[in-house]
Structure 1
Amino acid sequence: MANSWRISALAHRHRALGSALEDWNGMGTAWTYGATSLSEAHEAIRTRAGLMDVSGLKKVHYVGPHAESLLEYATSRDISKIYPGKSAYATMLNEAGKFVDDCVIYRTGPNAFMVVHGAGSGHEMLVRSAQGRQVAVLFDDDLHDLSLQGPLAVDFLAEHVPGIRELPYFHHLQTRLFGCSVMISRTGYTGERGYEIFCKAADAPLLWDSILEKGRTLGIIPCAFTALDWLRVESYLLFFPYDNSEKYPFADQPAGDTLWELGLDFT
């Protein structure tokens, strides 16, 4: 974790499970756990449910009268179609029209959005387009992201969150879970029905412990990041830059991929 400048509030939990906390996106991330094999984690999420800490994703609040028009400029989606409580998967392109990052855009109010992205240059693009405009760009490292993925995730959450079964895909709600204020989104990165639970750093350990303790009878277990890698590959969900020519350039052309080459033209 020598190069990490971001710290997960769950770092002690991950170490206790046998993780060395390798760096991803500036945060010490549990790539593997000593106690749980990857195949066990994979099976849990495909058949029951598993809990992962994906707080290494970067969360950026984009707030102000110009937020919608600037997100139109920075990403590939029609932002006007995203209403409060809805989210959308979007891609970000450079001046050459080549893919440089992907993200999920959550609309949290009329002039308020949250953009969650990975290890590309998304944050820089959001900041660059905001200069001189009526928009605040707030990088939020206090916000943690616990991902509960698998077919039984909804059964578990339905015991604690009213209305969760009615929450459509790529929608989110503000609610409480085990006494903590959270935003729960029906999204994920596994191909299974799953939910991301956004919470304050101070609440993350309580939520992590409570989900694992109360979900034990359903077979919910903690799962490491490499299991997520297996799952998303099976579901053909891309991971920048590892699935791109930035990582594996062609000998006769500069790095950079179009959305059509990546199968992301739907965005």
Structure 2
Amino acid sequence: MANSWRISALAERHRALGSQLEDWSGMGTAWTYASDLADEHEAIRTRAGLMDVSGLKKVHYVGPHAESLLEYATSRDISKVYPGKSVYATMLNEAGKFVDDCVIYRTGPNAFMVVHGSGNGHEMLLRSAQGRQVAVLFDDDLHDLSLQGPLAVDFLAEQVPGIRELPYFHHLQTRLFDRPVMISRTGYTGERGYEIFCKAADAPLIWDSILDKGRDLGIIPVPSPRWTGCGWRATCCSSPTTTRRCIPSPTSRPATPCGSWGWTSPCRRPRGISVAPASIGACRARSASGSSVCCSTATRRPRPATRCGPGASRSG
């Protein structure tokens, strides 16, 4: 087990499923379970899988200057993000170089939550807030459970009224199994899915209830990091494992805007990849060693070229 300074409230559940809790972003994270990788992959693609992605860092950014400072720190026009909406963004340093990626949730007129990976996003937010009217609060009590797959909406519709009508990259405050949660229609598997933000004390009950009540739909637990690189993150840079070519250096050029996804990166990443069934064995071996799984065992799925520049857009 990794010597991590952040602890998931679901750590004992992960150990019971066979995980050794390897470190990611300071948290002991389930990189593998004792279950079959092929079934986990099929669950995400045809049913639904439940992942604990609480290793993502959650930062509340609140105050009169919050909107303008997020525009400074990221690649997005934050004025277009209204309460209840979220956007994917890149986080840039003072030279316009990529330091992290994130999803920005607007939770009120002057209130935001920034969920980012293991890059330097938190440090960038702290620097931008110095001397300004904004509070920065790192919230490690908030846990993030990701229910991903085509049947995720069918399951949640039985518990949360109106969830089917929730648009892509929008979120709502509601209750799930009589616990207060924020549910967002986001995820990184390429399938329709939802992230459930809850208190650490409520995470075990919500996790157990989803797996118990979702058993008839084929919902199973899935270790989260093996899905990094699949789906829409296959078009993006995920820090730090896939941003080695994007970390600022004296010769790297600044990121530039590109449609609704926010930027054009100096690095080149394969787009539209999926795990080939024949690669499952190799994928399991690489996963057990902590390597980046999906990108290394992927097959390319053709997609039209994306045009970047004025007037360009990229749909979700």
TM-score range, shorter chain: over 0.9
* Closer, same or farther: CA 38–4 of 1 in aligned 2, 3 Å: same
Equivalent residue runs for 1:7-156 within 5 Å: 7-34=7-34, 36-156=35-155
For structure 1, the 5+ residue unaligned runs are: none
* Closer, same or farther: CA 256–26 of 1 in aligned 2, 3 Å: farther
What TM-score do you get using the length of structure 1 for normalisation? 0.92
How many residues are paired up?
264
Cα distance between partner residues in 1 of 2:163 and 2:268: 31
Q: What is the deviation of 1:132?
A: 1.1
For each residue in 1:99-124, what CA deviation from the matched residue of structure 2 results, as whole angstroms up to 9, or x when unmatched? 11010000000010000000110000
1:165 corresponding residue in structure 2:
164
SS of the residue aligned with 1:168? coil
Q: What is the deviation of 1:65?
A: 0.7
Conserved? CA contact 1:41–1:227, under 8 Å: no
Cα distance between partner residues in 1 of 2:234 and 2:134: 36
For each residue in 1:64-106, what CA deviation from the matched residue of structure 2 results, as whole angstroms up to 9, or x when unmatched? 1111111111111000000000000011112332211010000
2:272 corresponding residue in structure 1:
none
Conserved? CA contact 1:147–1:195, under 8 Å: yes
* Closer, same or farther: CA 215–83 of 1 in aligned 2, 3 Å: same
* Closer, same or farther: CA 170–70 of 1 in aligned 2, 3 Å: same
Q: What is the deviation of 1:233?
A: 7.8
Conserved? CA contact 2:98–2:248, under 8 Å: no
- Letter of the 1:118 partner, please give it: G
Query: Which structure is higher in RCO with an 8 Å CA cutoff and minimum separation 6?
Result: 1
- Letter of the 2:131 partner, please give it: G
Conserved? CA contact 1:38–1:226, under 8 Å: no
Conserved? CA contact 2:171–2:183, under 8 Å: yes
1:197 corresponding residue in structure 2:
196
2:5 corresponding residue in structure 1:
5
* Closer, same or farther: CA 169–229 of 1 in aligned 2, 3 Å: same
Q: What is the deviation of 1:137?
A: 0.2
1:209 corresponding residue in structure 2:
208
Q: What is the deviation of 1:257?
A: 7.0
Q: What is the deviation of 1:37?
A: 2.0
* Closer, same or farther: CA 12–167 of 1 in aligned 2, 3 Å: same
1:261 corresponding residue in structure 2:
266
SS of the residue aligned with 1:137? strand
SS of the residue aligned with 1:43? helix
Please tell me the root mean square deviation across aligned C-alpha atoms, in Å. Answer: 2.3
- Letter of the 1:5 partner, please give it: W
What TM-score do you get using the length of structure 2 for normalisation? 0.78
What is the percentage of aligned positions where both structures have the same residue?
77
